[in-house]
Amino acid sequence: MSKASDRAYAQIRSRILSGELAPGEQLAEEALAELCGVSRTPVRDALRRLEAELLVARNDTQRTFVADWSLDDVADAFDLRASLEGRAARLAAARMTPEVIARLRAANALVGQAIQQPVADVAAFLEGNRQFHAILLETANSRRLTALLNTLVEQPVVWRTAHFYDQASLVRSHGEHTELVAAFERRDGDWAEAIMNSHIRRAYYAYSDAHRRLTIAPPGA
């Protein structure tokens, strides 16, 4: 891939993940080329890569849109993530070191600071959460798990899930990270896997409950 294609891919992908390009929004090659400062060919290459990652979709007329996942799609993604990230937690537990424990604690401290604000800093929460799970996956040291999980974790729906959390949910998420660290300190793979499964399942229900509330809310509510 050319540098122009990589640049277009990175910029479009970033805007999709942040929600700047919203689910269901049509992606016009000419407009994207102008936005990214490249020609249409690199944009076309970038969109093919994003389609392979399930971030964009094409309809029967070959128009391209930001992927809009159904609740069933979301459930499938979280089921897979719970299974795979639970496996990653088990592998990481067997490879845990004091240095990695310190890094996990530091990442979770960012999460704690974010939720202690008068109004929770969701962006900071997401960054601390991203660091925590990235360290865990790095420690698991499985290229296949990393490739599979990166596709699932870096979906716009994951970003939106945190915005549906109330304060109590944010506190529980932080507490589950703390419990994971305790399991890792004891190198207990069974415990770590069970916590991670529960952690991901609870995130799914936070999303699905909010999705249903938004769906049944009357117009203008």
Q: Which CATH number fits domain 71-216: 3.20.20.60, 1.10.357.10, 3.30.470.10, 1.20.120.530?
A: 1.20.120.530
The pLDDT, as a whole number, for residue 107 is 97
Q: How many CB atoms lie within 10 A of CB 157?
A: 19
Q: Where are the domains of the chain?
A: 3-66, 71-216
The pLDDT, as a whole number, for residue 163 is 65
The pLDDT, as a whole number, for residue 140 is 97
The pLDDT, as a whole number, for residue 14 is 83
Cα-Cα end-to-end distance for the chain: 47
Phi, psi of 192 (to 5 degrees): -60, -45
The pLDDT, as a whole number, for residue 220 is 43
The pTM of the full predicted model, rounded to 2 decimals, is: 0.75
pLDDT per residue rounded down to tens, the chain (221 residues): 578 899 999 999 888 877 788 888 999 999 999 999 999 999 999 999 998 877 888 888 889 999 877 778 788 888 999 999 999 999 999 999 999 999 999 999 999 999 998 888 988 998 999 899 999 999 999 999 988 887 776 656 666 666 667 788 889 999 999 999 999 999 999 999 999 999 999 888 877 776 666 554 444 43
The pLDDT, as a whole number, for residue 139 is 97
Residues 174-203 as b or e (16 or more Cβ within 10 Å = b):
bebbebbbebbeeebbebbbbbbbebbebb
| Cα angle 141-199-182, degrees, rounded to a multiple of 5 | 65
Question: What are 138's two structure tokens?
Answer: 């790095």
3-66, what's its fold? Arc Repressor Mutant, subunit A (1.10.10)
